[in-house]
A = this chain, B = another copy of it.
Amino acid sequence: MTIELAEMQRLVREGVPLARAWGVEVLAAADGEATLRLPHHEDLLRPGGTVSGPALMGLADVAMWAALLSLTGGKDESLTSNLSITFLRPPAPRAVIAEARVIKKGRTLSYGEVLLHSEGEPAPCAHVTTSWAALPRPR
């Protein structure tokens, strides 16, 4: 059920066009955990120079998807049902790292959390929890 990083990155970019547009990279994905990287983009900044909230939410969403895909060998079985993000400090104007972790993989509902931080900065800039519902049928 393992899956190559390159294949995971391909899946994630194909499934979420914004991830492709933003050049999101999959750095690690195994055993229900995944690390993704959002490269620096001028057009994802807010005035003041911090990475915009919607970009962080999008990154967290695909990071959890990668963590879930790591448990199914890349088989897409669920869809975001809820995503809750709390912003902890303004992210610096550089790349953002997302560390996702599946807390529960259920038959109908799965749940996990994602910590986001600026690259090279250990303190988190945002924390996310997210629920995923099983797909009624393959998408």
Chain A: residues with CB nearer than 8 A to chain B? Answer: 14-18, 21, 43-48, 52-55, 57-58, 61, 79-89, 103-104, 106, 108-109, 111, 113, 123-124, 127, 129, 131, 133-134, 139
B111 touches A108 (CB 8 A): no
Contact A129 B84 (CB under 8 A): yes
Q: How many copies does the complex hold?
A: 4
How many angstroms between the C-alpha atoms of A21 and B129 in the bound complex? 27
In the complex with contacts A58-B57, A85-B83, A18-B47 CB distance below 8 A: no
Residues of the B chain whose Cβ atoms lie less than 8 Å from the Cβ of A52: 16-18, 58
Q: Which of B104, B109, B129 sits near A129, CB closer than 8 Å?
A: B129
A108 touches B87 (CB 8 A): no
A5 to B109, CA, bound (A): 33
Is A44 a contact partner of B18 (Cβ separation < 8 A)? yes
